[in-house]
Structure 1
Amino acid sequence: MQKKYSLNWNRDHLVDIENDIFHMPFKGDDIILGYIFGGNESPNPDKFVFSGDFNVVGNIDYITNDLWIPVLSKRMIDLLTSLGSFKYELIPCEIFDFTIPHEEVFEDKSKWLYKPNIELNKDYYALRLLDDYVEMDYEKSEYDILIKDPLRIGSIENLVLRSSKGGLPPLFRIKEKLSQILVPESVKEELEASGLKGLVFESEII
């Protein structure tokens, strides 16, 4: 039986900065996690605009950001989709160099229209999983219960799932940990072997 891991950001390269990229404000950005992870239908952005460190952007495949949403390189998305089928939505990301003052970047900041000759990286996409949740087997899994809320699960040391028709997709979620993106061990090994950067895998799902 394959182990399951949570996919997280590797933040070891960050020095004197909290994230690689930082979003440009938009209506509903304070509830975007509910859209990405919770299934809420609003907001529904057609793209995300970020400023970022161009010494890192383009070299990291799973990139840290201040929205705390999964932002993947096209290379990482292509690999994942080659490993199996799963339902998802991709939201384009546009990233400009954060060393350039905003007044030199935008022709119209209210519409995020850029001035001519502004360099943009468009190789990243925010990922929203649309597949149904995979069912956790409570009897076989090893997990803790939150002391302050006995009806909720804390950390999961060993996740066992109920049998899923057709096997597990490359990325999946369980309803007990809505904001965690999970991968089977075989997918973890493929991602590690590919040389993709910015990823870390945790066997304990928190």
Structure 2
Amino acid sequence: MTDPAYQLLWGTNHLLGTDELYDLMLEQTEAFAPLGVWTAHTNLPANLPEPIIMSASFGTVGYTHYPSNDQQWPIMSRRMLDLLLAVRAFPHVAIPLAIIDPILRRDEPDPSEDFVERRLETADRDYVIVHLTEHLDILDEERSEMRRSRAIEGLVTISEYALHVPADGLPPFFRLSIQPTQLFISADARQALAAAGMAGPVYLPLVGYQNGTGDETDVPVPVPQVPEGA
């Protein structure tokens, strides 16, 4: 690990050979549709549903600490967040989630209108959305490979990142103000997660993919099992 930071991605190899595309799926799609890519902004929307409900594709999500999800939100276990904060504090809001088991067992009756409400009684609340409330202006544009859109003001495409690392180092988890949709993790944070056996994160060096390869996994996500009786 030689980069000061890495692009942070979600592990999905464990989903190969299954019928699922993600570990988690949002239940309240209509409520979030007007909000757009709200996690790329520093301010929180005023009308976030409470609780935010996700369904676990395999009934549980405890096999990964950084679950892939259909919204591409930075969802992580509280344990993973604690490890990042132990590396260094960073400005954020931890938004609680309620993760329900959507799988109907063979011995259960057909779902009623209050199915989700009933499943909330046993929801997993050990995961949060980590919303970053500050973005960093540290991209070295001269050394980065980037292209500005002529059609859309402010839109940039970056294939290789070079960073101005602050004298006091990088926060463990951050976004860049010039391209706030991309998540980054510091090398120190990656090392801490690997030492703790955190499955889920995938790391892409700042130079990006080279000939279609280049992402790195420290702790593979185990293949999830469909619950017995499903």
TM-score in same-fold range (> 0.5): yes
Question: 1:202 and 1:70 mapped to 2: Cα distance?
Answer: 16
- How far apart in 2 are the matches of 1:94 and 1:114? 12
Counterpart check, 1:114 vs 2:118: yes
Superposed counterparts of 1:37-76, under 5 Å: 37-39=40-42, 41-54=45-58, 57-76=61-80
1:126 maps to what in 2? 129
Which one of 130, 136, 141 corresponds to residue 138 of structure 1? 141
User: Is the contact between residue 7 and residue 202 of structure 1 (CA under 8 Å) also seen in structure 2?
Assistant: yes
RMSD of Structure 2 on Structure 1 (CA): 3.0
Alignment correspondent of 2:13: 12
Deviation of 1:159 after TM superposition, in Å, equals: 1.7
Q: Which residue of 1 aligns with 2:178?
A: 176
**How high is the sequence identity, in percent, across the aligned residues?**
23
Query: How many residue pairs end up in the alignment?
Result: 200
Structure 1: runs of 5 or more not aligned:
none
Deviations 1:110-136 (A, max 9, x none): xx63369x5321111111001242321
What corresponds to 2:202 in structure 1?
200
Contact map agreement 1:49 1:95 (CA 8 A) in 2: yes
Deviation of 1:149 after TM superposition, in Å, equals 5.4
User: SS where residue 59 of structure 1 aligns?
Assistant: coil
| Distance apart, 1:26 and its partner CA | 5.2
In the alignment, the residues of structure 2 paired with residue 61 and residue 132 of structure 1 have an alpha-carbon distance, to the nearest angstrom, of 23
Task: Name 2:213's counterpart in structure 1.
Answer: none
Unaligned residue ranges in structure 2 (runs of 5+): 210-230
8 Å Cα contact 2:42-2:135 kept in structure 1: no
Match of 2:192 among 190, 195, 198: 190
Residue in 2 aligned with 1:86?
90
| Residues 135 and 177, structure 2, Cα contact 8 Å, conserved in 1 | no
1:25 Cα deviation (Å)?
1.7
Q: Is the 1:63–1:198 Cα contact (8 Å) retained in structure 2? A: yes
> Normalized against structure 2, the TM-score is what?
0.74
| Residue 11 of structure 1, CA deviation | 0.6
Under a length normalisation based on structure 1, what TM-score does the superposition of the two structures give? 0.81
